[in-house]
Amino acid sequence: MNPNSSTSKPLQIAVLSFAHGHANAYCDRIASFDDARVIAAWDDNAARGQKACESFGLQYFDDVDALLADSSIDAVIITSETNRHADLIEKAAAAGKAILCQKPMATTLEDCDRIIAAVEKAGVHFEMAFQMRCDPLNQQIKKWIEEGAVGRVGLVRRRHCINFLFSPGLKEGPSAWHIDPVANVGMFFDDAVHATDFLYWLLGKPSCVIAEIDNVLTDVAPDDTGLAIYRWPNGTMADLCNASVTLAGENTCEVYGDEGVIIQNYDDGVSVAHAPADAVALKLFRKSTGQWETFDHQLPPNHGERLKAVPRPWIDNIKNSATPTVSARDGRISVEMCIAAYQSAREGRRIQI
């Protein structure tokens, strides 16, 4: 059965908490699908939850257990504060619901292990919400590397930045939980997890990291800027740059190999917003030809469109009983890579992963 067919039974979805703003992007995109619909939501913040439900035409539940007991709901999107993911996932998995979990998977490896145990015991479909894996430009980078277009990869440089900490009134606003170390560890943890998952997706699990993470331009959050250098057993290096105090940018990813070079531009929120109309988003230099070739793909009008790419493959995978795009075990590795970077920054030494 075609999962996009309007004649197939729509997947019935509920949202567990609108704490994370990406929930709105997911609901907005799913509303355009014929084969899925968001029908309900729970939020421990009643005002926030009721407002979102009114906006999207959803049934509001003030009791998460009552929502999960509703047999008409097939799947849930968990977009709560990060430190609450494990509790909610255990409940949702036990209720037999398919799950999409907002990144990072959890704030500790212990909670990651709880999540893995819960979803594997229940046998439910579970995916992490990492939009970088859904981006056609990133998918082409992976394809070129796997085809051997750049030969042996020596170095990957990835920048993934936002301007979040420059937001006025952040400490008193609805997104303040992002800067709470209990709810979310720190801003490098919150946002660099995208890039750690990207590096793991491209290269596998690294063996060690050395990092600097600190407040450089602000004192709003536990940290605002981080640099991490990861190494792989074969010698490959990756330089991850993440800051929550970046006003604009351009170059987002570079891959250097012994047979070629990949350059990607305008692939984070602070860069795509300022991309020129004639921007070249992705190009490949081949040693064999001595020339650049471009990947013809139009940039999205804003970074929000990249966020909205997450629900489609999740829904397709559920309907087709397919392998998750990013499993719970995958989600643990990106968390482990971030936690190791923090340990390195604290202790001033290389950390084995």
- pLDDT tens digits, residue range 50-95? 999 999 999 999 999 999 999 999 999 999 999 999 999 999 999 9
Please tell me the CATH superfamily of domain 132-307+336-352, with its number.
Answer: Dihydrodipicolinate Reductase; domain 2 (3.30.360.10)
Say what the pLDDT of residue 7 is: 45
The CATH fold assigned to 11-124 is Rossmann fold (3.40.50)
| Residue 58 vs residues 15, 55, 177, 333: alpha-carbon distances, Å | 9, 8, 24, 34
What is the DSSP secondary structure assignment for residue 39, as one 8-state letter? Answer: E
Return the pLDDT at 112.
Answer: 98
Question: Are 17 and 44 spatial neighbours (Cβ–Cβ below 8 Å)?
Answer: yes
Residues 6+ apart with CB under 8 A from 260: 144, 149, 150, 151, 284, 285, 286, 287
Distance between CA atoms of 39 and 170, rounded to whole angstroms? 30
Closest CA to 139 of 328, 295, 25, 273: 295
**Domain ranges (residues) in the chain:** 11-124, 132-307+336-352
Model confidence band, residue 5 (pLDDT cutoffs 50, 70, 90) = very low
Q: pTM above the 0.75 mark?
A: yes
Q: How far apart are CA 93 and CA 163, in angstroms?
A: 35
Q: What is the dihedral of CA 270, 272, 189, 243, to 10 degrees?
A: -30
Mean pLDDT of 322-326: 96
What are the Cα distances from residue 43, in Å, to 11, 16, 63, 179, 330? Answer: 21, 6, 8, 20, 27
Q: What is the pLDDT of residues 98-157, one digit of tens each?
A: 999 999 999 999 999 999 999 999 999 999 999 999 999 999 999 999 999 999 999 999
Number of DSSP helices (H) and strands (E) in the chain, helices first: 12, 15
Q: Cα dihedral sign for 82, 87, 92, 96?
A: positive
Compute CA distances 30 → 2, 107, 307, 309, 323, whole Å: 17, 28, 12, 10, 21
pLDDT band with cut points at 50, 70 and 90 for residue 298: confident
Q: Mark residue 169 as left, alpha or beta (left: phi above 0; alpha: psi -120 to 50; beta: remaining).
A: left
The pair of three-digit structure tokens given for residue 96, joined into one six-digit string: 């037999």
User: pLDDT (tens digit, 9 = 90+) per residue, 244-272?
Assistant: 999 999 999 999 999 999 999 999 989 99
86, amino acid identity: A
CB-CB contact of 258 with 152 (8 Å): yes
CA–CA distance from 267 to each of 10, 46, 200, 273, 348 (Å)?
Answer: 32, 35, 18, 10, 31
Mean pLDDT of 212-226: 97
Select from 342, 327, 332 the least CA-distant residue to 105. Answer: 332
